Chains A and B, each alone.
Chain A
Amino acid sequence: MDIITKIRSKFPDNIIKVTELREKTQLMEIKKADFPQILDYAHNSLGGHFMTMTGTDYIESLDHFIIDYILGWYEEGVLVVFRARIRKGDENFPSATPYVPCADWYEREVKESLGLSPIGHPNPRKLLLSDEWPEDIYPLRKNYKHDARPPYKAEARYPFEAPENGKMFNIIPFGPYHFAIHEPIYFRFLTNGERIVNTDLRAGFNYRGLEKIAETRLTYETIPFMAERVCGICGSVHAEAYTQALEKAANFEAPERAKWIRTVMLEIERIHSHLLWLGVASHMVGFDSGLMQFWRVRDKDMFLAELLTGNRKLYGMIVPGGVRRDIRDDKKEKALKLVSEIHEEYEELLKATLNLGTLKKRLKDVGCLRKEDAKKYSVMGPVARASGISIDSRRDYPYEAYPHLDFESPVESEGDVLARTIVRAHDVLQSIKIIEQALESLPDGPVHTPLDYIPPGVTSVGLVEGPRGTDVHYIITGKEDTVYRWRVRAPTYANLQATPLMLEGYTLADASIIIGSIDPCISCAERVLVVDANSGKERILSSKDLLKR
């Protein structure tokens, strides 16, 4: 493969081994000291997209940790997993963040959940764990029980960046509760009057501990339902990504009919998500009529989902092996009729709203993200497509029924909020097209074939294009019907890192729409590990933080 050859020629002595996990997915083992250079070359010179990074604990069995950086090349449809081992006792690795800025959050997460410190990281603060979590307890290690309770530490403060000395700034807290953002996250703006000069952010309020629970208490069959609950808006995407990863690990192909039904469900979800976003964005700029009308059309889409699955949301359809319910012919007819109604009303609405002068003025030239910055931070989905980067996992890493369907991925180049709006608006039209095609040519056959054998110890990556971007699920299969490691990387995780850049220089009035324009799904971004429900919940919400002065 080109990419591997290029890397081999640049760094001939540093590569230990290259294995092919499957077609177009390679695993490259290197020494941990070489991470920064190789990743710098791969990301910046070869133009790779940063997909995710994980750490896994193999201490008890093999006496080492492994760290995986996964980069993808959309144009070639290639994935490369860069892996290194970290010996016990030498629990650190050189940080790649100075060269590849988007590795920032991932390395912080590995640090706090596994205890592997990135040396040279410019910003090694806690990311998702609460401030009172003790420093030396690492939840994702295998020797930590999923229901253990760490000792309570005295109140701690998150060290925010302080303003430069001598300058006068106002501190405006945006969150954790704010009308504009629908999930808790804390942005701290340093403003000069109304103009935002600097942004710092604290995430981690929606921490639920899903990965640890999946590793300890769930089986292959039950994880998709948990995955669906990672996010309320894009649940199916997570279920699909996990199932894809699992089926790849088992070298299993689901039956054709199941693939097409999965496609239909994913596109129904995309329509619902984008319509929700369009309504919320209208509300954020004060156009309440837009909110009401877009959500009225969205309700039809939810009814479509109810027609096909019995649930308006959290469909519960995608499982390893196929789907859980079939689509009968009469339902198919009704569904097609609903889709055409949605199409008609949506087109009308779009024409009426996107031409509205006042709305356009609020969205144009706001929150610009230039193409270079977008590449630097490896943003995903509509945010990337609005900045001129043409990536779409449905087209570049084809899965399910997409190779057989005809659709486009529109790209805009301004990189402002209006561009993102237009991209999402056109995505809805494409989704409608896809659903119509898929429903009309649904192949016959079974909808579910059970998986029989899944070999343990296999690394596998599932990539799905969600409404917000590429969702990456990484699993290492384990023994006895459980996963050894499950890592979820939602697209918002990558997009959030680019947000401070988008906010700089704009006023407070635009802050909410800029943050909203990446379609933040904070719950997706924070699902790693923590303790058990009763006492843990208090710590997660850090109620002391919210009430204390």
Chain B
Amino acid sequence: MIQIVFYQALLVIPALVYFYSKKVAAISLAAIQILLLSLSIAGFVTLQFPQILIILACLVLLTDPGSNPQLLSIVTLISMVPLPGTLPLVSLALFIFIALSAKRCQKTLGLYMLIIIPLTFILQYLRYPFAALPLVLLLIGAPPFHKWFSDLYSNYRSTGVLVALTALTHLNAYQASYASLTSLLLFLGALMMIVGLFQCMVCKTFTELYSTSHRIVFGLLLVSASVSELRALFLYLLLPSIFTLSIIHFVHNSLAERTKKSGMFEFGGLSTGMKAQSACTLATYLILFTLVSLSSEIFMQIGISGNIEFILLGCITLFVAAASLAVFFRNYTLIYEGLSKSNIPSSSSQKFAVTALSAGNLVTALVPISSFSIFSSIGGLRPPEFEALNTLLLIVAAATILSAIIMVFAKPSKMRSWTTGYATLNELRESRGEIFTSWREIFEPIYAIKVPDDKASEIVGKINPIMIFVTLAVFAVIGEIL
């Protein structure tokens, strides 16, 4: 008792000093917190785990020059008070602080974090609004509304993603309420993946690229969110999907902003100057591919051991996984290979950001599945002896190592392409036409299926997704009242 009062007294000091000198206040707060930590390690003070976390968080926040040490010291003070309900409150306060300081350096990130708080509150109160289902689907971009999804993406890109993810999380949390609609949701999810795949193959602008790759991801997430057996899969897929989508956004967005161009055919040859970005984009595409193929394996396993409809889903997802490789390769080569048309210098902060995001992507994608526990929690299935992802990883790693060995020891001699013959290499590189035109011709029947939603898309595409989400909440409240 005496000890806690002592520390509370200590923590008051920086709050008081703040009125005289902000810098001294920050330094003193940091010093006191470090003292607390070392005392707890040495065993003189017992601090609970959440309190240690809070102290660490405060220390990190102190590095932000705009943060308020007074408020931080008060927050730490409160955390020391063993009252019920203080910890969530303190966590909330800290989250707001983090969001505010994030907003100072990365405006959009901070904005998202600030949006999450009210959205999470709303989420707690939503139950079963059947009428809200179409809105949920609208948010996620379920077919057949292609155009509006693309329009949404040109107007409210990031907000759209965020709100859609929130809607999916809601769906996952309240699966039981939507149980009667499971088959519809599965069908829509599978359809979204296929539609996204085919549209991504013929996309010409960045907006189309985003919307189609998002459709693939959201289709997958929709499928795993709708079924109770796949709850663990959904939770696993959530983080890597967010990272993947944000990387795809980030890289292409910065390209578009720098050059004021948004057509994919206007780039080329960037891989030499933007090595980090090109490597990260490639890695992102590969991780997306592994996510889809992992899911397909799980679907097939479930299907074979009982639920027959998952077999079809598994076949479709398997096909999407394999074909997505080709699609990603096309998109990658269009932007990064060939003769460089625009000379875009890349900034090191961008490189750092994209590398950090990719690292996060890799970690969240690979670490959970390396342990068997995640697998066994998925529907109670026994994991196969070689998880699919491990096999694939092994193969790719082995191939890369072998090739590196060959490259080092075999000493290949470089030469130019032989068929230029009478045409110069430059001329051939310059030709930036679409190579996959025969794709469009062969699959013309599929591309010819058009839903007459142009007018509707114009209107819906301009609505802020948050408005849609608020409508969802209103429906929820109504549903609860009735």
Q: CB atoms of A and B under 8 A apart anywhere in the complex?
A: yes
Q: Is the CB of B433 within 8 A of A169?
A: yes
- Per the 8 Å Cβ criterion, residues 182-241 of B in contact with A are none
Q: Is the interface of A mostly helix, strand, loop or mixed?
A: mixed
Contact partners of B416 in chain A: CB under 8 A: 549
Question: Is A186's beta carbon under 8 Å from chain B?
Answer: yes
Contact partners of B371 in chain A: CB under 8 A: none
Contact partners of A177 in chain B: CB under 8 A: 421
Question: Is A175's beta carbon under 8 Å from chain B?
Answer: yes
| CA of A549 to CA of B426, assembled, Å | 8
Binary A-proximity of B429-465 (CB < 8 A = 1, otherwise 0): 0111111111010000000000000000000000000
| CA of A194 to CA of B437, assembled, Å | 7
Contact partners of B83 in chain A: CB under 8 A: none
Q: Is the CB of A193 within 8 A of B423?
A: no
| CA of A199 to CA of B183, assembled, Å | 54
Q: Is the CB of B422 within 8 A of A193?
A: no
Question: Is B428's beta carbon under 8 Å from chain A?
Answer: yes
Q: A176: nearest residue on chain B (CB-CB)?
A: B421
Smallest beta-carbon distance B346→chain A, Å: 26
- Per the 8 Å Cβ criterion, residues 167-194 of A in contact with B are 168-171, 173, 175-177, 186, 188, 191-194
Smallest beta-carbon distance A34→chain B, Å: 39
Contact partners of B422 in chain A: CB under 8 A: 158, 173, 175-176, 186, 188, 202, 545-546
Range, interface on chain B = 20 to 34
Question: Is B420's beta carbon under 8 Å from chain A?
Answer: yes
Contact partners of A158 in chain B: CB under 8 A: 422
Question: How many residues of A are counted as interface, with CB atoms below 8 angstroms from the partner's CB atoms?
Answer: 22
Question: Is B425's beta carbon under 8 Å from chain A?
Answer: yes
Question: Is B124's beta carbon under 8 Å from chain A?
Answer: no
Smallest beta-carbon distance B223→chain A, Å: 33
Q: Is the CB of B433 within 8 A of A173?
A: no
Question: Is B419's beta carbon under 8 Å from chain A?
Answer: yes
Smallest beta-carbon distance B371→chain A, Å: 47
Question: Is B257's beta carbon under 8 Å from chain A?
Answer: no
- Per the 8 Å Cβ criterion, residues 383-420 of B in contact with A are 416, 419-420
| CA of A545 to CA of B423, assembled, Å | 9
| CA of A169 to CA of B433, assembled, Å | 5
Q: Is the CB of B431 within 8 A of A171?
A: yes
Q: B426: nearest residue on chain A (CB-CB)?
A: A549
Question: Is A195's beta carbon under 8 Å from chain B?
Answer: yes
Contact partners of B265 in chain A: CB under 8 A: 168
Q: Is the CB of A546 within 8 A of B421?
A: yes
Contact partners of A173 in chain B: CB under 8 A: 419-423, 428
CB-CB under 8 A for A549 and B425, given A193-B436, A193-B437, A194-B437: yes
Q: Is the CB of A169 within 8 A of B431?
A: yes
Among candidates A160, A169, A175, A192, residue contacting B421 with C-beta atoms closer than 8 Å:
A175
- Per the 8 Å Cβ criterion, residues 507-549 of A in contact with B are 507, 545-546, 549
| CA of A507 to CA of B432, assembled, Å | 18
Binary B-proximity of A189-223 (CB < 8 A = 1, otherwise 0): 00111110000001000000000000000000000
Among candidates A171, A192, A194, residue contacting B423 with C-beta atoms closer than 8 Å:
A171
Among candidates B419, B424, B427, B437, residue contacting A192 with C-beta atoms closer than 8 Å:
B437
Contact partners of A193 in chain B: CB under 8 A: 433-438, 440
| CA of A549 to CA of B425, assembled, Å | 6
Q: B422: nearest residue on chain A (CB-CB)?
A: A186
| CA of A507 to CA of B422, assembled, Å | 21
Contact partners of A202 in chain B: CB under 8 A: 422
Contact partners of B424 in chain A: CB under 8 A: 549
Q: Is the CB of A171 within 8 A of B425?
A: no
Give the one of B420, B430, B433 with max A CB within 10 A.
B433
Contact partners of A168 in chain B: CB under 8 A: 265, 431-434
Q: A186: nearest residue on chain B (CB-CB)?
A: B422
Smallest beta-carbon distance A163→chain B, Å: 8
Smallest beta-carbon distance A191→chain B, Å: 7
Give the one of A158, A202, A546 with max B CB within 10 A.
A546
Q: Is the CB of B431 within 8 A of A170?
A: yes
Contact partners of B437 in chain A: CB under 8 A: 192-195
| CA of A171 to CA of B428, assembled, Å | 6
Smallest beta-carbon distance B88→chain A, Å: 58
| CA of A168 to CA of B423, assembled, Å | 17
Smallest beta-carbon distance A196→chain B, Å: 12
| CA of A176 to CA of B422, assembled, Å | 7
Smallest beta-carbon distance A203→chain B, Å: 11
| CA of A412 to CA of B247, assembled, Å | 62
Contact partners of A186 in chain B: CB under 8 A: 421-422
Q: B428: nearest residue on chain A (CB-CB)?
A: A171
- Per the 8 Å Cβ criterion, residues 22-37 of B in contact with A are none
Q: Is the CB of B421 within 8 A of A170?
A: no
Smallest beta-carbon distance A542→chain B, Å: 8
Contact partners of A546 in chain B: CB under 8 A: 421-422
Q: B434: nearest residue on chain A (CB-CB)?
A: A193
| CA of A507 to CA of B430, assembled, Å | 21
Contact partners of A549 in chain B: CB under 8 A: 416, 420, 424-426
CB-CB under 8 A for A170 and B425, given A549-B416, A549-B420: no
Contact partners of A507 in chain B: CB under 8 A: 438
Smallest beta-carbon distance B29→chain A, Å: 61
Among candidates A170, A176, A188, A545, residue contacting B433 with C-beta atoms closer than 8 Å:
A170
Give the one of A186, A191, A193, A507 with max B CB within 10 A.
A193
Smallest beta-carbon distance B161→chain A, Å: 31
Contact partners of A195 in chain B: CB under 8 A: 437
| CA of A409 to CA of B69, assembled, Å | 103
| CA of A186 to CA of B424, assembled, Å | 13
Contact partners of A176 in chain B: CB under 8 A: 421-422
Q: A131: nearest residue on chain B (CB-CB)?
A: B422
Contact partners of A169 in chain B: CB under 8 A: 431, 433
Q: Is the CB of B438 within 8 A of A188?
A: no
| CA of A549 to CA of B420, assembled, Å | 8
Smallest beta-carbon distance B436→chain A, Å: 7
| CA of A158 to CA of B421, assembled, Å | 13
| CA of A545 to CA of B422, assembled, Å | 6
| CA of A527 to CA of B432, assembled, Å | 38
| CA of A545 to CA of B435, assembled, Å | 27
Smallest beta-carbon distance B339→chain A, Å: 12
Contact partners of B423 in chain A: CB under 8 A: 160, 171, 173, 188
| CA of A158 to CA of B416, assembled, Å | 21
Q: A546: nearest residue on chain B (CB-CB)?
A: B421
Give the one of A160, A186, A194 with max B CB within 10 A.
A194
Contact partners of B426 in chain A: CB under 8 A: 549
Binary B-proximity of A40-60 (CB < 8 A = 1, otherwise 0): 000000000000000000000
Smallest beta-carbon distance A164→chain B, Å: 13
Binary A-proximity of B265-298 (CB < 8 A = 1, otherwise 0): 1000000000000000000000000000000000
- Per the 8 Å Cβ criterion, residues 4-61 of B in contact with A are none
Q: Chain A interface (Cβ within 8 Å of chain B)?
A: 158, 160, 168-171, 173, 175-177, 186, 188, 191-195, 202, 507, 545-546, 549
The 4 closest A-B pairs by CB, nearest first: A193-B437, A168-B433, A170-B433, A170-B431
Q: What are some 29 contacts across the A-B interface (CB < 8 A)?
A: A158-B422, A168-B432, A168-B434, A170-B435, A171-B427, A171-B428, A171-B431, A173-B420, A173-B428, A175-B421, A175-B422, A176-B422, A188-B422, A188-B423, A191-B433, A192-B434, A192-B437, A193-B433, A193-B436, A194-B437, A202-B422, A507-B438, A545-B421, A545-B422, A546-B421, A546-B422, A549-B416, A549-B425, A549-B426
Taking A192-B434, A195-B437, A549-B424 as known contacts, 11 extra A-B pairs with beta carbons closer than 8 A to each other, sorted by chain A number, are A158-B422, A160-B423, A171-B427, A171-B430, A177-B421, A192-B437, A193-B435, A193-B437, A193-B440, A194-B437, A546-B421
